[in-house]
Amino acid sequence: MARRQEQEPARSDVTEVAPGVLRMELPIALPGLGHVNCYALLDRRGAAVVDPGLPGPATWRAIQDRLRKAGLTPRHVHTVIITHSHPDHFGGAGRFAKESGAQVVAHRAFSFGLPVPAPEVSVDDLAADAETDREHEAAEPERPAPRIVDGRTPWGGQRPRPPFMTRLKWMLMRRLGAAIVPTITHPVEHGDVLELAGREWFVVHTPGHTADHFCLHDPESGVMLAGDHVLPSITPHISGITSSVDPLSTFFYSLDRVAEITGVKRVLPAHGHPFEDLRKRTEAIKRHHHERLERLREIARELGPANVRAFSEHLFAPRNWGAMAESETYAHLEHLRIAGRAERRVDRDGSYFYSLD
């Protein structure tokens, strides 16, 4: 299987991808991804940066290198914008705040670590990576985050966790006093307007991948900074452990929200290359999830009533079995249940069993 563009390693080039907007690729070591796009939006005061990579010295050296190629230093950065609360998007924010006094902008719902830090990409896209290595709010109420007792999820499985070496690195950084999670100085919400690159950019809240995810739309130049909400060739992870009653429905709602925005000529994603047809890509992502929902119904005809683990092990290849696959499966099964197309019962040990029509 060919490498997806989001899995390409970071290049050191700095390119202008929209008027006054520079793309700076930063290296990351996360399953299914090879880089994160950090965008610099230039103005008379210096620059705002969007999604400044993972925590740690390697990222900071890469940021300094890219800024230097653009004729900038960290002291020129007056604002850091975080599209959502995953570490490859906020890692450098605290360092910028320390170096230049930069304000840190994120959605008012920004939260890291509760209930768990979710993976970035869907299980399908982790599979692609494995092959390569071998060759406004959604219209639904929120709920309290599902309880995780003794490391077990609501459906009875183990919770997803970052890789051991990543957890170890973060623990060491905390002990050394490094600020991994930044202080948000300027929280925003849907409809707010930010002055960036000499133009007005509108905050579009797009929950789904995370509850706090937002995009930025510049109607003057027709540019959308999309974060992880709409990526060019892979899909973001939709976790079953979230405050949303139906995380997949929330994601669909957010995809429709950005698809209906007129005049978008260029989409700047957090991973992969810029692309043009936003509506076409949102439809492709929705189609992918609808195909998965139909596949679950086929599996149900084979298995009969089954738990989340059994469904996930029929939905995904063996190399991808585990907590992350179960989380995605659970989100899809709950979507079917809420739509009245599945029933759920609780076994004696607390595990969920689903029957699909």
Task: Provide the CATH number for the domain around residue 315.
Answer: 1.10.10.10
Query: Residue 52 and residue 98: Cα distance in Å, rounded?
Result: 14
Partnered with residue 14 across adjacent β-strands are 24
Report the pLDDT value the prediction gives residue 31, as an integer from 0 to 100: 82
Domain limits for position 110: 5-287
Q: Are residues 270 and 296 in the same domain?
A: no
266-269/223-227 β-pairing: parallel
Q: Are residues 345 and 222 in the same domain?
A: no
Query: Residue 236 and residue 119: Cα distance in Å, rounded?
Result: 8
Neighbours of 178 (CB within 10 A): 14
pTM of the model as a whole: 0.87
Neighbours of 6 (CB within 10 A): 26
Q: Are residues 52 and 183 in the same domain?
A: yes
Say how many CA atoms lie within 13 Å of 276 toward its Cβ: 1
Q: Are residues 205 and 332 in the same domain?
A: no
Q: Are residues 275 and 301 in the same domain?
A: no
In angstroms, the Cα distances linking 280 to 86, 215, 264, 288, 290 are 26, 17, 12, 13, 15
Query: Among 237, 269, 287, which residue terminates a domain?
Result: 287
Domain count along the chain: 2
Q: Are residues 137 and 274 in the same domain?
A: yes
Q: Are residues 349 and 202 in the same domain?
A: no
Q: Are residues 176 and 61 in the same domain?
A: yes
Q: Are residues 259 and 184 in the same domain?
A: yes
Query: Residue 306 and residue 87: Cα distance in Å, rounded?
Result: 35
Query: Residue 58 and residue 70: Cα distance in Å, rounded?
Result: 19
Report the pLDDT value the prediction gives residue 48, as an integer from 0 to 100: 98
Q: Are residues 119 and 256 in the same domain?
A: yes
CB distance 79 to 102 below 8 Å: yes
Token pair 């992870």: residue: 237
Q: Are residues 15 and 50 in the same domain?
A: yes
CB distance 327 to 315 below 8 Å: no
Report the pLDDT value the prediction gives residue 134, as an integer from 0 to 100: 31
Query: Residue 206 and residue 138: Cα distance in Å, rounded?
Result: 8
Q: Are residues 280 and 306 in the same domain?
A: no
User: Could you tell me the CATH number of the domain that includes residue 47?
Assistant: 3.60.15.10
Query: In a structure prediction context, what are the per-residue pLDDT tens digits for the chain, which is 357 residues long?
Result: 568 999 999 999 999 999 999 999 999 988 889 999 999 999 999 999 999 999 989 999 999 999 999 999 999 999 999 999 999 999 999 999 999 999 999 999 998 853 344 557 776 766 544 333 333 333 444 444 444 444 567 787 666 666 655 556 556 655 555 567 899 999 999 999 999 999 999 999 999 999 999 999 999 999 999 999 999 999 999 999 888 889 999 999 999 999 999 999 999 999 999 999 999 999 999 999 999 999 999 999 999 999 999 999 999 999 989 988 999 999 999 999 999 999 999 988 888 999 998
